[in-house]
Homo-oligomer: A and B are copies of this chain.
Amino acid sequence: MSIRIGIYGYGNLGRGVELAIQQNPDMTAVGVFTRRDPNTVKTLTGIPVYAANDVLKMQKDIDVMILCGGSATDLPTQTPELAQYFNVVDSFDTHAKIPAHVANVQAVAENAKTTALISAGWDPGMFSLARLYGGAVLPEGKDYTFWGKGVSQGHSEAIRRIDGVADAKQYTIPIEKAVRAVRAGENPELATAEKHERECFVVVKEGADKARIENEIKSMPNYFAEYNTTVHFISQEELNEKHGGLPHGGVVIRSGATGIDKQHKHVVEYSLKLDSNAEFTSSVLVACARAVYRLNQGGMYGCKTLFDVPPAYLSVKSREELLKTLL
């Protein structure tokens, strides 16, 4: 029997989930739920579109709902709301607010006997797992996370909000010298500006003051002020042509030592190189939906994260197959 998946929200992530389900033979996409007029939304693979308001009518038809909204305003309310009625997966990624989000969802899901897996994706998500495993096996060591090279949508949007800017793409770039030192087991202390730099491709409106815009970008607190930032002004055509995609990635490194005199160094590295940030995140969400279904079938209710999921629950393969082919 197929695991029946609902897709709540239909932006980049929702479309990625729709496509990822097609790669998983044990799942079926029941449909998309949108706050827009369903008649105006056309899905990539032809699956039905429903009004978000009608979601409760479909409670019996959906095993797991994948929430594809944003972390800023959608998920903090949607995940606890929907966890009353559905098993859910979300990609809540505001790291500082995760404990509060867990607490909100836990109360609801436990009571409703649903299972909610929150903060799935790659960071939080696969990178979190890499940090946990790395620290568990090498307790005496240091963690490093580098992001990129990749497009930060938050930083790109911050630039687009500046007066006179028509469009922009911002790349987060790990500083190679720092990554090399970490890989060599040197355990360096790294300031923010020593870990990443920022490269911006900006399209200005006609007559805009480029010097002022460049200055506004470079001095923007939190986003750019602490970093070495490079700004390139280019045409909209060049931006579309050369910077149209949303690649991302990064690396988590655990550098530790063992031995009677800590004389043996060990470097554990988990890295991602992704052509499409959204589609990879979606692929993780879909694997997590399988795990949520199984957790719920096993009576494991409440709010979970990837830290709580036995890895086998994520895989379509049987136990026998896993032992024989992957262990």
Q: Which residues of A contact B (CB under 8 A)?
A: 16, 19-20, 23-24, 44, 95, 98-99, 102, 119, 124, 126, 128-133, 135-140, 183, 185, 258-260, 263-276, 279-280, 282-284, 287, 290, 305-312, 314-317, 319-320, 322-324, 326-327
Contacts and interface: CB of A to CB of B under 8 A. Distances in A.
A131 to B, nearest CB: 5
B258 A267 contact: no
A327 B95 contact: yes
What copy number does this chain have within its complex? 2
A279 B307 contact: no
Contacts of A307: 310-312, 319, 322-323, 326-327
Sorted nearest first, the 9 A-B pairs with minimum C-beta distance are: A264-B275, A136-B314, A264-B276, A258-B279, A307-B312, A267-B273, A23-B139, A136-B287, A136-B315
A132 B324 CA distance: 12
Nearest to A290: B136
A42 B98 CA distance: 49
A311 B306 contact: yes
A99 B320 contact: yes
Contacts of A132: 311-312, 314-315, 322, 326
Given A129-B133, A133-B314, A258 B327 contact: no
Contacts of A310: 307-310
A271 B287 CA distance: 23
A163 to B, nearest CB: 34
